[in-house]
Amino acid sequence: METETKTERYIETVGRRKTAVARVRLTPSAPKTSIEANEQEMETYFKTADQRRVALEAIVKGKPNGKFKITARLSGGGLSGQAEALRHGIARALIIHDPELRKKLKKAGFLKRDPRAKERRKFGLKKARKSPQWSKR
């Protein structure tokens, strides 16, 4: 008697923002679109509605045909950076799944890794560029 093992085909991508990294797995043909972040539902992981909106922007603006199961491993940075890294990773995975979405997602700016990060503090200064108060005497 033969048993068939169903192997789930998925697309794996990496999204980044500041120091946050999101390893995203997009599995097509799920019964409904669901997103899991660090083995938690997205609603419990991202507390604010704004962070959830940012994470879902690639799906909302791209309007892909089909439903997906998205699982993500998030590390580094804060929650808002992780939400933007997740958006970057989802956008990259959607492009691999359906190359027709590239034009929409590129125009929205979801395919570019946002390079802005905090500048390091230099010695002799209070912050990256703020110097101590100067006194003449």
More confident residue, 125 or 2: 125
Q: Domain coordinates of the chain in residue numbers? A: 11-108
Q: Residue 38 above 70 pLDDT? A: yes
Mean pLDDT of the chain: 91
Amino acid at 43: E
Find residue 41's DSSP bridge partners.
36
- Classified as helix, coil or strand, 55 is helix
CATH topology of domain 11-108: Ribosomal Protein S5; domain 2 (3.30.230)
Q: What is the mean pLDDT of residues 73-83?
A: 95
More confident residue, 31 or 73: 73
